[in-house]
C-alpha cells in the first residue's frame, strides 16, 4: 500500500466560482463534474480549492463570516432545476465570460435560491407530516 504523502501527485488550484456558468459565476454543478472528469482524463489527482464558506466584504473567500457554512453561490441552479426546485426564467442576462460580477450574482442567486428553499422546506414539511401521521397512535 502506498502512502498518500510519499507518492508524487499532480493537481490544480481552482476555485469553483472560476468555472464557466450561464449564471455568471461557477458552482458545484455540471461544469464542476466536467472539470473533475478532465482532471481524471489528464492524470491529475488533486483539486485544491480556496475556502468554500460564504463571503462578505470584498467577496474574498478568506473573509467569511463562518468557518462552517457553505457559500450559497456554489449551489448549482442546474441541479436544482433537475430536481424540480427551480424553474429557469425565460430570459437569463448575458454575463461576461472573462470576469465575475459578484454583486449581481449574489443578488440574483439569493432571489432564486430563496424560492428554492421555500419549495424544499415545504416538501420536507409535507414528508415529515406524513411520517408523523403514520406513526401516530
Where does 18-123 show beta strands of DSSP type E?
46-48
Model pLDDT, residue 16: 92
pTM, entire model: 0.72
Model pLDDT, residue 38: 95
Q: CA 129 from chain center: how many Å?
A: 29
Alpha-carbon separation of residue 102 from 105, 108, 118 (angstroms): 5, 10, 24
pLDDT in tens, 31-79: 999 999 999 999 999 999 989 888 887 888 888 888 888 888 888 888 8
Model pLDDT, residue 42: 95
Amino acid at each position: 500500500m502506498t502512502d498518500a504523502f510519499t507518492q508524487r501527485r499532480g493537481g490544480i488550484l481552482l476555485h469553483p466560482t472560476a468555472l464557466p456558468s450561464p449564471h455568471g459565476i461557477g458552482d458545484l454543478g455540471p461544469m464542476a463534474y466536467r472539470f473533475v472528469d478532465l482532471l481524471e482524463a489528464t492524470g491529475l489527482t488533486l483539486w485544491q480549492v480556496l475556502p468554500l464558506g460564504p463571503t462578505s466584504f470584498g467577496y474574498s473567500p478568506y473573509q467569511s463570516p463562518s468557518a462552517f457554512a457553505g457559500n450559497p453561490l456554489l449551489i448549482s441552479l442546474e441541479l436544482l432545476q433537475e430536481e424540480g426546485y427551480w424553474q429557469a426564467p425565460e430570459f437569463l442576462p448575458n454575463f461576461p465570460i472573462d470576469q465575475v460580477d459578484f454583486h449581481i450574482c449574489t443578488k440574483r442567486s439569493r432571489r432564486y435560491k430563496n424560492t428554492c428553499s421555500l419549495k424544499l422546506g415545504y416538501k420536507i414539511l409535507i414528508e415529515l407530516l406524513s411520517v408523523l401521521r403514520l406513526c401516530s397512535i
